[in-house]
Structure 1
Amino acid sequence: MQSISEIDQLSGYPSIDTDVLRTFVAIADHGGFTRAGELVNRTQSAVSMQMKRLEEDVLQRKLFERDGRQVRLTPEGQVLLGYARRILKLHSEVFNTLREPHMVGLVRIGTPDDYVMRFLPGILKPFSKAYPLIQIEMHCESSTVLMQRRDLALTVVSREPGHEIGELLRTERMVWAASPCFCVDEHDALPLAVSGTDCVYTQWTCAALEAAGRDYRLAYHSSNVAAIQAVVNAGLAVMICMESLVTEELRVLGSDEGFPPLPSMNLHLLRNASMTSPITECLADYIREGFRL
Structure 2
Amino acid sequence: MQPANIDSELLRTFVAIADYGGFTRAAEMINRTQSAVSMQMKRLEEDVLRKPLFNREGRQVSLTAEGQILLGYARRILKLHSEVLTTLREPHMVGTVRIGTPDDYVMRFMQRILVHFAQSYPLVQVEMHCEPSFALLQRQDLDLTIVTREPGTEIGQLLRKESLVWAQARDSHLHTQSPLPLAMFNSQCFCRAWACNALDAMGRDYRIAYTSPSLSAIMAAVSAGLAITAQLRSLITSDLAIVGEEEGLPAMPMASIVLLRRDKGRSQVIDTLADAIVDGFSR
TM-score range, shorter chain: 0.5 to 0.7
Please, what TM-score do these two structures have when normalized by structure 2?
Answer: 0.67
Q: Which residue of 1 aligns with 2:178?
A: 188
Q: CA RMSD in A?
A: 1.8
Instruction: Select which of 188, 192, 213 maps to 1:223.
Output: 213
Instruction: Select which of 152, 157, 160 maps to 1:162.
Output: 152
Equivalent position amino acid for 2:96 in 1: L
| Contact kept? 1:182, 1:237, Cα under 8 Å | no
Instruction: Select which of 146, 168, 187 maps to 1:197.
Output: 187
Instruction: Compute the displacement of 1:127 (Å).
Output: 0.5
User: Is 1:246 equivalent to 2:236 in the alignment?
Assistant: yes
Instruction: Compute the displacement of 1:189 (Å).
Output: 0.3
Q: Which residue of 2 aligns with 1:277?
A: 267
Instruction: Compute the displacement of 1:275 (Å).
Output: 8.6
| Cα distance change of structure 1 residues 172 and 185 upon mapping to structure 2, 3 Å threshold | closer
**What pairs up with 1:24-173 in 2 under 5 angstroms?**
100-101=90-91, 103-173=93-163
Cα distance in structure 1, aligned partners of 2:103 and 2:162: 16
| Contact kept? 1:105, 1:134, Cα under 8 Å | yes
| Contact kept? 1:153, 1:276, Cα under 8 Å | no
Q: String of CA shifts for 1:120-171, please: whole Å, max 9, x gaps.
A: 1121111100000101000000111001111110010000000010001100
| Contact kept? 1:177, 1:252, Cα under 8 Å | yes
Structure 1 runs not aligned, ≥5 long: 1-94
| Contact kept? 2:159, 2:281, Cα under 8 Å | yes
Equivalent position amino acid for 1:227 in 2: A
| Contact kept? 2:175, 2:228, Cα under 8 Å | no
Cα distance in structure 1, aligned partners of 2:175 and 2:158: 39
* Superposition misfits of 4+ residues, deviation over 6 angstroms: none
| Contact kept? 1:193, 1:228, Cα under 8 Å | yes
**What pairs up with 1:250-265 in 2 under 5 angstroms?**
250-265=240-255
Cα distance in structure 2, aligned partners of 1:142 and 1:210: 24
Instruction: Compute the displacement of 1:102 (Å).
Output: 5.0
| Cα distance change of structure 1 residues 164 and 130 upon mapping to structure 2, 3 Å threshold | same
Please, what TM-score do these two structures have when normalized by structure 1?
Answer: 0.65
Equivalent position amino acid for 1:120 in 2: M
